[in-house]
Amino acid sequence: MKAPLAISDALAVTRALRRIGSVRAPTTLAPSVLRRAGLADTYWQIASPLGALYVAQGPAGISLVRRARAGGSSTFEREFRKRLGRPVYPAVRPAPAAVRRAVAGKSARELRFDLRGLTDFESAVLRKALEIPAGQVRPYGWIAKEIGRPEAVRAAGSALAKNPLPLLIPCHRVVRTDGRVGDYIFGSSAKRTLLKSEGAQPDALEKLGSSGVRFLGSESGRYFCLPTCGGFESLRRSNRVPFRSASQALAAGFLPCEDCRPAA
């Protein structure tokens, strides 16, 4: 069979080349590039005591945690870009064990957190919340005092409400001075659920708080604590002396506990 004559024409060759057509880059290209350049984060869906969460991580650490909802990945990706100014892409590989452990409620100590988008004050508040052990709670005012801004109780509250890494930074362990659990990014009842999953007893704490008790003293050691210092079991010990204020405890000759620094 004779070849079409036109093929021998150089012009026809260049024409055919021009029509060879464009190809589209695979959708995996841009995410891989941006991730390798450190300009995009990765996220996983991980089970937690509150159900599945989206957990994003970048080169500087964990960057955003939100509740996963059916079909909610695009909402998450949009919120991520809006807050952090860079894209986030679903992970190809499973989450690191340390991340999964932390989300499940075990220690988050090994993790790094990317708090670059926050003010110094906000990040100081969140880092302070990290010091509260599981199974214990602290009042908002305690956070404010501990970071040297005792007057900024409300501001500390809103910094906690804006926590980009709920669960991993345990803002749920910060409660109202009167023992009520207070607000939470995922709602008050989620906060109770979470506290209970850590062994805390929000009901017992509320009951104590509503009776006016703010501190508990130890008769034998002559020191006084925030009610949940050392765990909630201290609420039930018989040798505890209730105080309505720090000054009352001090006047009775009790010294502030060095662990929970009740009158810091």
Active site residue 171: yes
Residues in 199-258 at the binding interface with other proteins, rule: CB under 8 A: none
| 93 touches other proteins by CB under 8 A | no
Report the C-alpha gap between 217 and 41 in whole angstroms: 48
E strand or H helix at 126, and its extent? helix 120-129
Residues in 6-65 at the binding interface with other proteins, rule: CB under 8 A: 6-10, 12-26, 28-30, 32-34, 36-37, 39-40
CB 62 within 8 A of CB 114: yes
Smaller CB separation from other proteins, 36 or 109: 36
Report the C-alpha gap between 179 and 206 in whole angstroms: 5
Minimum Å gap between C-beta 5 and other proteins is 8
| 97 touches other proteins by CB under 8 A | no
Q: 140: closest CA among 154, 124, 126? A: 154
First to last CA, the chain: 96
Binder of other proteins out of 49, 72, 87, 105 (CB under 8 A) = 87
Smaller CB separation from other proteins, 86 or 101: 86
Smaller CB separation from other proteins, 37 or 97: 37
Residues in 181-200 at the binding interface with other proteins, rule: CB under 8 A: none
Minimum Å gap between C-beta 80 and other proteins is 13
Smaller CB separation from other proteins, 27 or 238: 27
Report the C-alpha gap between 43 and 68 in whole angstroms: 11
Six-digit token pair at 248?
Answer: 């009352």
Q: Is 212 helix (H, G, I), strand (E, B) or coil?
A: coil
Report the C-alpha gap between 176 and 95 in whole angstroms: 34
Give catalytic residue positions: 171
Q: Which residues of the shown chain bind other proteins in the complex (CB under 8 A)?
A: 1-4, 6-10, 12-26, 28-30, 32-34, 36-37, 39-40, 85-87
